[in-house]
């Protein structure tokens, strides 16, 4: 599958062959850093001064690079397809190689970052438990009532949520059993077949 680059995108990227490869490599590093941490306009200004161009040009160049990398990573295109896609830009061979290397080196990390943009459900972080025995309450003395107190840690939208819950021994066993069955399910023929055939 080839990348479909718009005219505007091609224009932005056209800046890259005008600078030497060390600069392109630096832009690549900045691009990935911006994907990790968000963009920082001051960097554009500094680079623009050093290269004697407008900061808009630098910005477009870096953003073009970012888009190239994210689209390629999202679609998980092969090396060959990446090379063919970039070929249409008419860049020198050395630049093409550099861009390919940039793609391959950062693909995995970029995919991890893109994954975080998916609709976010609270996700499991960890679980703490404690065994308790209730001995008395205001309305009844001399009890022996076992219970399990659970602290469930969840992640959502980068934040941390905690739920403090309780359950009785029978429910605890039921919970463990049900979830164990859930785990077993992945190993069944049906699931294996699906995993094998949808790739």
Interface ranges with another protein (CB under 8 A): 74-76, 111, 114-115, 117-119, 121-124, 126-127, 129, 131, 137-143, 145-146, 148-150, 152, 154, 163-169, 171-176, 178-180, 182-183, 185-186, 191, 194-195, 198-199
| Minimal distance, residue 197 CB to another protein, in Å | 11
Nearer to another protein, 88 or 175 (CB): 175
- Hey, how many other C-beta atoms are within 10 angstroms of the C-beta on 29? 12
Query: 45: how many CB neighbours lie within 10 A of its CB?
Result: 14
| DSSP single-letter state for residue 18 | G
Shortest distance, position 68 Cβ to another protein, whole Å: 16
Coil/strand/helix, residue 193: helix
Q: How far is the CB of 115 from another protein (least distance, A)?
A: 6
Q: Which is nearer to another protein, 25 or 80 (CB)?
A: 80
Smallest distance, another protein to C-beta of residue 170, A? 10
131 forms beta bridges with: 148
Which token pair is 126?
């960890």
- The CA–CA distances, whole Å, from 24 to 13, 28, 34, 109 equal 11, 6, 15, 20
Count of residues for the chain?
199
Instruction: Pick between residue 76 and residue 88 the one whose CB is nearest to another protein.
Output: 76
Nearer to another protein, 52 or 123 (CB): 123
């Amino acid at each position: 599958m080839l990348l479909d680059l718009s005219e505007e995108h091609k224009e932005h990227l056209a800046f890259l062959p005008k600078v030497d490869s060390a600069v392109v490599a630096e832009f690549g590093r900045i691009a990935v850093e911006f994907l990790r941490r968000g963009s920082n306009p001051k960097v554009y200004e500094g680079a623009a001064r050093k290269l004697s161009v407008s900061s808009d040009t630098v910005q477009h160049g870096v953003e073009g690079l970012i888009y190239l990398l994210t689209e390629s990573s999202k679609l998980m295109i092969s090396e060959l397809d990446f090379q063919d896609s970039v070929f249409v830009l008419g860049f020198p061979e050395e630049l093409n190689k550099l861009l390919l290397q940039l793609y391959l080196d950062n693909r995995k990390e970029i995919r991890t970052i893109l994954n975080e943009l998916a609709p976010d459900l609270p996700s499991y972080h960890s679980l703490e438990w404690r065994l308790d025995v209730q001995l008395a309450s205001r309305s009844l003395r001399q009890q022996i009532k076992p219970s399990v107190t659970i602290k469930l840690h969840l992640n959502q939208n980068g934040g941390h949520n905690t739920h403090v819950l309780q359950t009785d021994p029978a429910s605890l066993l039921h919970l463990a059993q049900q979830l164990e069955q859930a785990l077993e399910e992945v190993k069944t023929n049906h699931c294996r077949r699906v995993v094998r055939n949808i790739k």
